[in-house]
Chain A
Amino acid sequence: MDFANYDPDGASRGREIISAKIVVAGGFGVGKTTLVGAISEIQPLTTEALMTAAGVGIDDSSKVPGKETTTVAMDFGRITMAEDLILYLFGTPGQTRFWFMWDEIIRGAVGAAVLVDTRRITDAFAPLDYFENRKLPYVVALNRFDDAPHYELEEIREALAISPDVPLVMCDARHRESVKQVLVTVVEHAMLRLQAEHGYPASVG
């Protein structure tokens, strides 16, 4: 039997379930997995993609026998918001040599939060460059580590040359309420951007 188009009464379809995705980006060890774990309803999960060491392509290793393969891990969490709505949070692989994976991770996302460790501010240059050259709405979240020097938000905005229309917030990636606020900021910013693109005056309900 050919099942390809076999759906006599649409019974298998049920109600449509929609998923949305927010990306948590940033350099190595800035707290991405911690942030996802602080709000996810499941322990952050990891999925692996195979690639050749040369990074010629994801999961393309079988075509180049003999080439060394390596796996890129990305972790993610889930928030089931309604029976028909699931939000996924995807962390990007932190190591810079895996940044080609980011294109796949951000595709179709609502927006992104770029996490910055205030002890290593210059590590944020490359992730910020990446998002400046993409269409995806993003916000910058400063993850305050206990031993980090204190900076004013505006000092950091200037140091990182963050455009005035990009929201900049302080957060603690370990705390659910703080993480929730970061994600709310991402979605509100995405709504404002979408409205602006369609010529609406800025306001989020």
Chain B
Amino acid sequence: MEPRRDPRGALVRPYAVTRGRTEPLQNIALEAVLSSTATQSAEARFAGHDKYRISSVCEGRAQSLAEIAAYTRMPLGVTRVLVADMVAEGLLTLHSAAPATGFAARMNLLGRVLSGLREL
């Protein structure tokens, strides 16, 4: 595969960072939110450049998988593999891993989104 020209100008081979792996440990949703504490971030320093960048993006502010991919400028598939690894390694906390299921929980979530929109 051809190296991809990164928007910052560096040449990157997207799958080099995942050693060619394309299957994530778990299929994290685009909008699933991740965060990292200062402690987790400190540990991520030793996990390699890309994981450390991901960790920095999430430190102190919850970010979705899609945001992590956008801010690190890594393709979605690569980001998903790395993020799933980091969750398994305890370097990132995955929130809302299971979206609201069941009538009451779903109605409650919709109701909160509705009032959130109306208050904008």
Contact = CB atoms under 8 A, between A and B. Distances in A.
A183 B118 CA distance: 10
B117 A183 contact: yes
B40 A87 contact: no
Size bin of chain B's contact surface:
35 or more
A39 B120 contact: yes
A126 interface: no
Contact of A59 (B2, B62, B78, B109): B78
Given A12-B90, A86-B33, A62 B2 contact: no
Nearest to B99: A108
A150 interface: no
Interface SS of chain A: helix, strand, loop or mixed?
A: mixed
Given A13-B93, A16-B95, A191-B107, A58 B77 contact: yes
A39 B69 CA distance: 21
A62 B1 contact: yes
B26 interface: no
Given A14-B35, A184-B114, A198-B103, A48 B109 contact: no
A187 B40 contact: no
B113 A65 contact: no
Contacts of A148: none
Interface string B46-69: 000000000000000010101101
A147 B119 CA distance: 32
Interface string A3-42: 1101100011110111111000000000000000001000
B89 A3 contact: yes
Which of B2, B29, B116, B118 has the most A CB atoms < 10 Å from its CB? B116
Interface string A69-92: 101001010110110011110100
A110 to B, nearest CB: 6
15 contacts: A4-B88, A12-B37, A19-B64, A49-B77, A59-B76, A62-B1, A76-B30, A78-B64, A85-B112, A86-B31, A107-B29, A108-B99, A187-B117, A194-B106, A205-B111
